[in-house]
Amino acid sequence: MSIIETVTDVDNTFLSRRELTCNFAGLSGKLKSLEAAEMITKEFKLDGKVVIPMRLRTHVGKSHVTGTFFVYDDEGLARKHVNPTIFSRIEKIKTKLAEAKTEEAPAEVASDETPEEVNADNTSSEETKTEEKPE
């Protein structure tokens, strides 16, 4: 059983886009718009296309979310049709995610040192301390 249920799938030839409305079962309060767009991309095999999450709506007393997505073949056409505020929000979220990933990477590099390297550094600093003391 898939957690994505297609409600409507309309091919809007006038605006050259595909409009998807889907229910995400059991993800109320946990689903983010970019995660939903990635799930739609994988579910409908939309690699290479621009998937724009337009709306995620939760339902009172139910644990599912209804999402509306626009799928364009061309990003230029998408930028013409869709409000620029939506693109700025998506780009802002993507930059925050990229910054979070780059902050995690140096922490992992520091933890990759072996205990031998750490001990070698500590012993060399202790040796220099003992050599500096005049007797």
Token couple for 124: 């060399």
> Taking every pair of C-alpha atoms in the chain, what is the biggest distance, in angstroms?
91
Token couple for 127: 């040796």
CATH number, domain with residue 39: 3.30.70.3370
Strand partners, 65: 24, 58
pLDDT tens digit sequence for 34-74: 999 999 999 999 999 999 999 999 999 999 999 999 999 99
115 belongs to a structural domain: no
Is a pLDDT exceeding 80 seen at residue 120?
Answer: no
Domain tally for the chain? 1
Structure confidence at residue 29 (pLDDT): 86
CA distance 55 to 68: 5
Domain range spanning residue 41? 4-110
